[in-house]
Amino acid sequence: MKRFPAVSTLIVIVAALYFLVPLYATFDFSLRMERGVLSFAAYRDVFQSDTFIATLTFSAIASLVAIVLGALIIVPTAYWVRLKLPKVRPLVEFLTLLPLIIPPVVLVFGYMRIYGNDSFLPLTTTDPGTNVLLVIGYTILSLPYMFRAVDNGMAAIDIATLTEAAESLGASRMRTIRTVIFPNVRSAIMSGAFLTFSISLGEFVMASLLNRPAFGPYLVQMGQDYAYQPAALAIMAFGVTWASMALMQLFATRKPGQRLFPRIPSFTPRSVKP
């Protein structure tokens, strides 16, 4: 008979309690805004706030634009490196890891120095220009996650054979990337996209120093001014993050061309002969 894995089970239980107990305490605290009863008053106040809707919309749009820009940069780069320049792959991997090494505050001050008032392209002097810098910053933060997701997706397909087949049918290299490579790594792109979205949505340093109305600075400001609403925001942010992780896992396990949800078969009743 196999022995019960007591040590590993204990480790799993302790780790689960380490994460779930503070989460439950935060959720319980967020329900006690009205004295003596448990209610969702804190959540109601958050959803009724115009600032909450505005900052969440701004961060969501900036994150989605950064995801699209990152995919347009990473997919052709990873494709070209795997197809023609395999020796350059260690260098590309090192460059995509730099956002994890260099603090975002250094990146923001570099933006201010290069695109400040005295530069040839003063983007920091206007709101649209600052928004562009924030989107570029989010794109840079997404490089480590997007590149590895796309690179792993391309490792699962034979891009050399697909490229030869497309070129034999008269497709150009750009059309091959657009109509052959992109659809085959769509699940990998979505995996990196959900992870990027969950990280960019709560990013604080870049949005704060660039003075943008993003969701991260709003969370910090709410934590300084209120008690129960920040707990409700923390629970909602945690839910968004876990939803993104669940969708990332769902797309990561899907094969190219496979439906996200299986089609329900339709049954046609047979005609009964009298």
User: What are 35's two structure tokens?
Assistant: 């004295």
Name all domains of the chain by residue range, CATH numbers in brackets: 38-252 (1.10.3720.10)
User: What are 7's two structure tokens?
Assistant: 């040590």
- Tens digit of pLDDT per residue, the chain (274 long)? 567 777 888 898 998 889 889 889 988 888 888 887 888 888 888 888 888 889 989 988 999 999 899 989 998 898 888 888 888 888 998 998 888 888 888 888 888 888 877 777 888 888 888 999 999 999 998 888 888 888 888 888 888 888 888 888 888 888 888 888 888 888 888 888 888 888 888 888 898 888 888 888 888 888 888 888 888 888 888 887 777 777 766 765 555 445 554 555 544 445 445 4
Instruction: Give pLDDT, residue 272.
Output: 46
User: CB neighbours of 42 closer than 8 A, spacing ≥ 6?
Assistant: 30, 31, 33, 228, 229, 231, 232
Instruction: Give pLDDT, residue 267.
Output: 45
Instruction: Give pLDDT, residue 228.
Output: 85
